[in-house]
Homo-oligomer: A and B are copies of this chain.
Amino acid sequence: MDHLEIFKALSNKTRLDILNWLKEPEANFPGQEAEGFQHGVCVGQIWQKAGLTQSTVSEYLSILQRAGLVKSTRVGQWTYYQRNEETFQVLSRLVQSEI
């Protein structure tokens, strides 16, 4: 749990947006409804919604993952990302009492 790495990951508008979108995949990624959201949302859906290039969003997802804020699952040729709520809980407590 590297505070600094987490805060850096959270220091970007687009990355905050992505985390927020992932709170409600059904509402924010209707394009993936057919496939379902068991493992989260695939990269293609996210980068189109973000309005940035595929490479940038892929990098952003890596940054979020290294910080522990999301986790990924590979299914066939798709990689699905979802929030790692545990980290948010721990971070919340940390902000309250340790920082």
**Chain A residues packing against B (C-beta within 8 Å):** 3-4, 7-8, 10-13, 16, 19-20, 88-89, 91-93, 95-96, 99
Contacts and interface: CB of A to CB of B under 8 A. Distances in A.
Number of this chain's copies in the complex: 2
Given A92-B92, A92-B93, A93-B92, A99 B4 contact: no
Q: Is the interface of A mostly helix, strand, loop or mixed?
A: helix
Contacts of A8: 11
A87 B45 CA distance: 35
A99 B88 contact: yes
A95 B99 contact: no
Contacts of A10: 3, 7, 99
Nearest to A89: B96
A41 B20 CA distance: 37
